[in-house]
Amino acid sequence: SYDLIQPPSVSVSPGQTVSISCSGDKLGGKFASWYQQKPGQSPGLVIYEDKRRPSGIPERFSGSNSGNTATLTISGAQAMDEAEYFCQAWDSRAVLFGGGTKLSVL
Amino acid sequence: QEQVVESGGGLVKPGGSLRLSCVASGFVFSDYDMHWVRQAPGKGLEWVSYITSSSSTIYYADSVKGRFTISRDNARNSLYLRMDSLRAEDAAIYYCARGGGYSYGDAFDMWGQGTMVTVSS
């Protein structure tokens, strides 16, 4: 079966840049999306089609996808960015989510 | 305001059945593919099922295939998930999510608040 692998947790200091990876076989050949989920809330879309931002998502959120790895980057992280982040892609007739990465802004 | 609202969750015994509903408002429901996604307490997201706008194509996760049935009624702006032969591992918050359509492609651009399903004797 196809899996998307994310690190369980990452941390960043306020104002610094952090990247979260999502690895899967030939993931670069698929479209990757990213979701942010804060405690007690539903997930929300922050990146789609590898690098596009929905309206209302701050410019500090960016994405890339090449080879076997998709990456979500937050440039100038803020306390409000502390959340869990999930990557997502389609594989044939199924949708896959990564296991999630908890971002701490310390 | 565009939104989807789930209902129908609750406590059910192992082997039992439940039907979840999701009502859409603020957008043309019949234009969008829809999904069910679940999240067990303290765990990650797990995709459950997908249905196209016309119901012509349906997919299921292997973990629910043969037990769950997705359907929709575009006249009622509603999405459903019939869950049979429920197991303890099916306990989760179940989210209704909208497929991204022309604007957001493969992504899920709208999520409901979720409905909790508990499976316990």
* For residue A86, pLDDT beyond 90: yes
* For residue A2, pLDDT beyond 80: no
Q: What is the pLDDT of residue B105?
A: 87
Give B95 to chain A, closest Cα distance, Å: 8
Residues of B in contact with A99 (CB under 8 A): 44
Give B24 to chain A, closest Cα distance, Å: 16
Q: What is the pLDDT of residue B102?
A: 83
Say yes or no for a CB contact (<8 Å) between A42 and B113: yes
Q: Choosing among A4, A95, A96, A97, which should be mutated to test the B contact, i.e. which has the most B CBs within 10 A?
A: A95
pLDDT digits (tens, 9 = 90+) for A21-47: 999 999 999 999 999 999 999 999 999
Query: What count of other Cβ atoms lies within 10 Å of the Cβ of residue A8?
Result: 9
Query: What count of other Cβ atoms lies within 10 Å of the Cβ of residue B81?
Result: 25
* 3-state class (DSSP) for residue A79: helix
Q: What is the pLDDT of residue B103?
A: 87
* 3-state class (DSSP) for residue A88: strand
* For residue B48, pLDDT beyond 90: yes
* 3-state class (DSSP) for residue A29: helix
- Cα–Cα dist A73/A79, whole Å: 15
Say yes or no for a CB contact (<8 Å) between A97 and B47: yes
Say yes or no for a CB contact (<8 Å) between A100 and B35: no
Containing B104, the helix (H) or strand (E) segment is helix B101-104
Give B59 to chain A, closest Cα distance, Å: 6
